[in-house]
Amino acid sequence: MTESEVLERAFAMPLTSPAFPPGPYRFVDREFLIITYRTDPDVLASVIPAPLEMTDPIVKFEFIRMPNSTGFGDYTESGQVIPVRFHNELGGYVHAMFLDDEAPIAGGREIWGFPKKLAAPVLHVEKDTISGVLRYNNIPIAVATMGYKHRPVPTEKMLASLTAPNFLLKIIPHVDGTVRICELVRYFCEDVTVKGAWEGPAAIELFHHALAPVAALPVLEVISGVHILTDLTLGLGTVVHDYLAG
């Protein structure tokens, strides 16, 4: 294989059998359970990387079921998103993500810089309750519940939320262990269709784990729960801040 052939084929690791295919990545019947809660403002501020700024001491704990996704197949993920401000732009900072499929773990980390780790999240309906359970190495670290489809929510409200900008901290080390890439990345969900949205009584419990510290952002008050069914495309990102440029 010549050097030019390497460059022609190089897209992702490993060279001869990439862990994921090129995008775009379309998601059909993507289902969200989002529990919004109030947390300790000092603790929250300590995990938001500048130049992002905290807007309110709020965390959105998300369980996302993806039964039909281009290139990634059928998987579930869970994590914490923090409302932030970037200059005059309001959006969400993806603080932590846990999922059960190698392809989106590799693709999410390598392309965008999603903070993904291997775990076992589950989102399902049990009788009159939609629930999310996140386990890390078989140990439960998050349990969320909401009354199933108690009240419809205007789809316009959910569309605005889903199409807002999202921010990621992409970190890739050099071969000597130092940081080679350290960037703030912005991305959008595109071509979003909200098929339905509902709210209801909601609750969430977080449990401490040394390697999956979701409970480091403690639940002080549950604000809301929402259940959303959508189709969307995960847009590619842009670098909005390079920490190494200076």
Candidates 32, 17, 22; CA nearest to 107 is 22
In our burial notation (b when 16+ CB lie closer than 10 A, e otherwise), range 154-189 reads ebeebbebbbebbbbbbeeeeeeeeeeebbbbbbbb
Hunting for tokens 């999202």 — which residue is that? 166
> Which is catalytic among the residues 60, 116, 127, 157?
116
What residues pair up with 72 in beta bridges, in sequence order?
A: none
Long-range contacts of 120-128, Cβ-Cβ distance < 8 Å, separation of 24 or more: 121/63, 121/76, 121/77, 121/78, 122/63, 122/76, 123/31, 123/33, 123/63, 123/64, 123/65, 123/76, 123/78
Q: Give the full edge-to-edge strand order of the sheet including 202-206.
A: 120-126, 129-136, 139-147, 202-206
Q: How far apart are CA 116 and CA 99, in angstroms?
A: 7
Q: How far apart are CA 128 and CA 117, in angstroms?
A: 31
What residues pair up with 189 in beta bridges, in sequence order?
A: 234
Q: How far apart are CA 155 and CA 169, in angstroms?
A: 30
Residues in the chain: 246
User: Is 157 a known active-site residue?
Assistant: no
Residues tagged active-site? 116
